A and B are shown apart, each in its own frame.
Chain A
Amino acid sequence: MQRRNSTTARRKLRLEGRLLMTSPAQWKRVLLLGFFILTGFACPLLHAQPHFSISGTVRDSVSGEAIIRATVALYTSPGATKPQRGALTNKYGFFSIPKLSKQVYYLGVRSIGYKTALVTITEEMLTANKSLTIELAPSIATTKGVTVEADRYNSSSTSSISSVSVSSDFIKQMPAMFGETDVFRVLQLLPGVKSPSELSSGLYVRGGSPDQNLVLLDGVIVYNPSHLGGFLSTFNNDALRDVHMIKGGFPAEYGGRLSSVIDMTMKDGSQEKIQGLGGLSIISARATVEGPISKDLTFMVSGRRMYLDLIRAVALSSAQKAETPDYYFYDLNAKLSWKADENNHFYFGGFFGRDQLTSPSGSDIGLNIGWGNSTLSARWMRIFSPEVFSNVSLIYTDYSFKTDVQSNSATTNFFSNSLVQDVGLKADVTWFAAPNHTLKFGTETTSHRFGTDVSDSLTLNGYVVTNQSMASLDAAVYAQDEWRINEDCSTNLGLRGYYFQDGKYFALEPRLQVAYNIIGNVKLTSSFSVAHQFLHLIVRNDINLPTDLWFPSTATTAPEKSTQGELGFETTFGEHDSYLLQVEGYYKDMRNLYEYKDTAKFSLIGAPLESQFTSGRGEAYGMEVFVNKRVGDFTGWLGYTLSWTKLYFDELNNGNPFYARYDRRHDLSLTFSYKLSESIDFGASWVYGTGFAFTMPTSQYAFSMDGSTGRSYVQQYFTERNGYRLPSYHRLDLNFGFHTTVFGLKSTIQLSIYNAYNHLNPFAQYFTNQLDPNTGQTVLTMKQITLFPFFPSVAWNFNF
């Protein structure tokens, strides 16, 4: 039955592709659409009057770093309140306002956290296309926080739909566990984004699992962005310039994942001077150095190393070492930026992260868990003309996740190894084609190599490993048009086409975002998107260890597919529009989700691993409210989510629907940072969530395994999968930052308190047999694990 469903889904996909490629009616529609688009662009060209473009880059006046999503508004008179035209800077700080007639213009350039710059363009300056480099000075009075672009010019822009940007400065002011600020832990506080547990920095976005997030670092996919069993993300905040998250309905330029996009950009390196940042927390040390090598060449190197293993080596006795596991992680980011000339920039980047956990020497069980990501990228950014901007990137990714358990006295031998190696080529072109049209085209091709080695979970002093290696190629092309239909209405219309070699899957993904300014600065927003995912993260549920396994689509494992829609509104209010209110409802349908069967076996000789998968579907829907104070000494937000996530698998839970483990009905977060004085700032977050779903046993029983009378095990009987709820979760975290000078270095001493009122939050509940000392009998007792009660930590951050 399940296999039939998968086959049907696959046939349908192929059919969709074939119809679009071969049906005359479909071709006609495509040609007509092309005709209308082309004539739309051509109309402005019919005017005889000469036209000019104003383009350029917007940079930080101190560091020289490009400023992303700065607003460039074009006015025709100095006192005008409403701009005639405008643009947002892209990831390289580039903007273009094409097709301008010759007259005097006044440019207002602003970005949150910077002073607004005003530039006058006289008629004399417009004898040709005008290229500008605009520098914005950081504003001391305003703090960069979490921003959703809702500038007045962009009151009908689609760029804010389901999107949030978090600044590196804001992340630093947030409470930090172990003194470690973490970008993903801050993202977890946003509405629609959930954390699977206190232990994890994984992101469950609108009912999608962490593998459904497209995590990009300078355009390169990072497969497992977590350290320390998921406690921290692999991204060192000091190395990041921008973090942009799209929770759903993402434009056609993004693809390959079902649920969300987390697009991070590394710093290019200061153009002013060689400088650095450093920090010591109770578990790790980090340092970042950046600066110019020459006038046109800058670098940035950032590293972080956990030193619990060093503390263990120094502070523990031999006996203690024999009982304490050895663990460390490191990550290293490096980037070289070369400005060959005004129109050609080259970027070379690398990211290397590694985690290693080894059991203590005295343990009966030999544990060896290691995972790591390595990425390399080379990118050429070229400005062909003021209206045409392009990027070409060559990318290499190497990811591995290995779990090896060898026991002396227990029957828990286990081995799992997942390898992914990608080599990819990406190219995109942005064409500022007309005043109301910005087109973006692109293509991506990736050659994947996968290796999967797995064993059964329980064997007698050994294991049988099943090896499977696969290679596959995927290719995608996309086109999107940011079309400003009129002053009040904008749309981003796109289409992405996908081909995946293994299984010969072809898929089309329409994307649409619409924003309509109904009154004042109240904007209605809507989006629709179809997305496919050709890589599946299969997680074993029978093992208490991380067993992440990336598995590609094959002839029998269809690609995952999501169809999602959002509807919402947003508005700004308060002085300088400092407050943003955003309300969004969403529905997401997910198909071809894969899990291991309850009866899965892993000692497979000659049989493909996918024979042990079972497929199903899921749906997620809900509503999010986001109130964001964006600028000033006091910044932060209130986020609330009401949501449902249900799964439907014929072969799981007796075929009955069940809630995903991370299904959470109510989720509330209140987060802010406040500058108490020049030397002290304060941050706090309070979160509340309905308890996660879990499977509770409902009775106990025993029987003989072999017919003999002497051997019986007491077992727990489970009824409904994820049918029960853990108690609700709530927690207050505080952070105080004291700015001072230590050892002659400009420093911040950061004191964080996690779980300030010591609420014993449930991490898990389970039943276990426990001896009753009064009766001498074994009784089944329910236990709750609480991971982190009241937990203070301190960190020292410094600049040099």
Chain B
Amino acid sequence: MIAAIATLSLSLHSCVQDVTTPDLPFVEQMVVSGFVYADSSEVCVSVSRSLPLNATYSFEAASVANAAVTVTGPQGSVTLQYDSARYCYRAPLQATVGSHYSLHVVWNGHDANATTVVPDKPVISDLLAVRTTTSDRGTRTRIQYTVAFQPNANSAFCVSNSAYVINLADSSASDTLASYRGLPNFRNVISGKPADTTLTIVGNAQQPGGQGFGGSPNVLDSAQFALLKFNALDLAYYDFWKTFRNTRNVSILGSFGTNPLYNIKGGAIGVFIGVSPTVGWLQTPIN
């Protein structure tokens, strides 16, 4: 009887209803995203607007095609041209390591600006992978790969999802990591400060005769080489990344929402970031 009552009670509890959206004040935001890649001859900045909560979000509705976007670098100031989705400018503005760039965007009464620096290429001081055994939630075998960067207090580091696991036996190349749960290109951003320049990524190893879970470092178990791409980022991206990841996890259990920490100043939200990519090789399978 007690079990029946408990089941009844538990089945009754906790329900979720749709509620009418209250009349919220809507203040339109200009949204800006720009990345300056080292050695790239292309600089692109996207500009959009925020939409009311009760609108169906569409990139078309949010797009802004008539903003004035200017990037200023060592070679001078250039005005970016709207090109179907973004504002871009190609050669002769080729971003160089160590250069400073500034962004100025004006649209519909919004006036925003930002600055960034293209950091030095990341220097990988150590890259290794090991097999470990843990006893949490039962004994499990895990693969842990660690990459250590030489400290650079002015930049952050991250792994890119442009990683390829290569199996020479069947000449296949997998970019499993690249599709890793749809995460953005920059993953596991760490600061370049001396105390925080080692990136450790752990995943459960593929179980014998069973299927591991896709997308984690266990894919290293079934290949012979892996090519991993790493990036050095303007340090501002570190703060943005951390706060963005946390706000993706907005609490519905009574906590509060916060906005990511942007480096665009003035009348816009978003980031303007310099990036320097490099690659590292890792021999697999892991012993």
Contacts and interface: CB of A to CB of B under 8 A. Distances in A.
Given A197-B254, A766-B250, A704 B46 contact: yes
B21 interface: yes
Interface in A67-90: none
B225 interface: no
B253 interface: yes
A764 B62 CA distance: 29
Interface stretch (B66-74, B107-115, B240-248): B240-248
A555 interface: no
A787 B10 CA distance: 10
B13 A700 contact: no
A408 interface: yes
Interface in A766-800: 766-767, 772, 775, 777-794
A49 interface: no
Interface string B74-110: 0000000000011000000000000000000000000
A707 B44 contact: yes
Nearest to A694: B256
A19 interface: no
Given A408-B213, A599-B242, A700-B57, A711 B204 contact: no
Nearest to A545: B253
Interface stretch (B30-38, B123-131, B165-173, B279-287): B30-38
Nearest to A177: B9
14 contacts: A282-B9, A311-B2, A541-B255, A541-B258, A607-B195, A695-B257, A698-B53, A699-B26, A699-B29, A700-B51, A718-B258, A783-B19, A787-B13, A792-B9
Given A544-B255, A599-B242, A781 B250 contact: no
Contacts of B58: 777
A151 interface: no
A591 interface: no
A760 interface: yes
A699 B27 contact: yes
Interface string A696-726: 1111111111111101111111110110100
Contact of B27 (A308, A713, A719): A719
B244 to A, nearest CB: 8
A728 interface: no
A716 B257 CA distance: 9
A789 B188 contact: no
A793 B18 contact: no
Nearest to B231: A706
Contact of A460 (B16, B35, B59, B201): B201
Given A699-B50, A787-B14, A404 B136 contact: yes
A701 B250 contact: no
B12 A790 contact: yes
Interface residues of A, number: 95
B103 to A, nearest CB: 13
B200 interface: yes
Contacts of B185: 705-706, 708, 711
Given A178-B9, A661-B254, A715-B248, 17 more contacts: A311-B3, A315-B7, A408-B213, A410-B181, A411-B181, A460-B216, A461-B202, A544-B249, A703-B48, A707-B275, A709-B85, A718-B257, A760-B15, A763-B254, A777-B58, A780-B56, A782-B18
A366 interface: yes
B224 to A, nearest CB: 22
Contacts of B260: 715
Contact of A366 (B136, B217, B239): B136
Contact of B5 (A197, A282, A408, A411): A282
Interface of A: 178, 196-197, 280, 282-283, 308, 311, 314-315, 366, 368, 404, 406, 408-412, 456-462, 464, 541-544, 598-599, 601, 603-607, 661, 692, 694-709, 711-719, 721-722, 724, 760, 763-767, 772, 775, 777-794
B17 A780 contact: no
Contacts of B52: 699-700
Nearest to A790: B12
Contacts of A408: 204, 213
Contacts of B54: 780
B59 A702 contact: yes
Contacts of B37: 707
Contacts of A766: 250, 252
B251 interface: yes
Nearest to B3: A315
A411 B251 CA distance: 16
A707 B33 contact: yes
Contacts of A719: 25, 27
B200 A706 contact: no
Contacts of A606: 195
Contacts of B186: 705-706
A541 B257 CA distance: 9
A724 B15 CA distance: 22
A749 B248 CA distance: 48
B249 A457 contact: yes
- B contact patch SS: mixed
B20 interface: yes
B249 A458 contact: yes
B17 A411 contact: no
A698 B250 contact: no
A541 B252 CA distance: 11
A707 B85 contact: no
B256 A785 contact: no
A544 B31 contact: no
A699 B58 CA distance: 13
A765 B260 CA distance: 21
A310 B15 CA distance: 25
B40 to A, nearest CB: 10
B121 interface: no
Contacts of B182: 711
Contacts of B53: 697-700, 716, 767, 780, 782
A599 to B, nearest CB: 5
A783 B17 contact: yes
Contacts of A767: 53
Contact of B261 (A368, A461, A599): A599
A764 B242 contact: no
A309 to B, nearest CB: 12
A793 B254 CA distance: 26
B221 interface: no
A701 B19 contact: no
B259 A777 contact: no
A751 to B, nearest CB: 11
Residue of B19, B217, B244 ringed by the most chain A CB atoms within 10 A: B19
A666 B35 CA distance: 50
A196 B253 CA distance: 11
Contacts of B251: 541-544
B17 A793 contact: no
B155 interface: no
B16 A784 contact: yes
B122 interface: no
A462 B15 contact: no
Nearest to B86: A709
Contacts of B184: 704-706, 711, 713
A327 B31 CA distance: 45
Given A711-B184, A713-B248, A283 B6 contact: yes
Nearest to B258: A598
A702 B256 contact: no
Contacts of B21: 782
B57 A702 contact: yes
Contacts of B55: 700, 780
B252 A764 contact: yes
B203 interface: yes
Contacts of B24: 696, 698
A780 B250 CA distance: 14
Q: Which of A412, A460, A708, A713 is the most central at the interface, judged by chain B CB atoms within 10 Å of its CB?
A: A460
Contacts of B201: 460-462
Contacts of B255: 541-542, 544
B35 A789 contact: no
B196 interface: yes
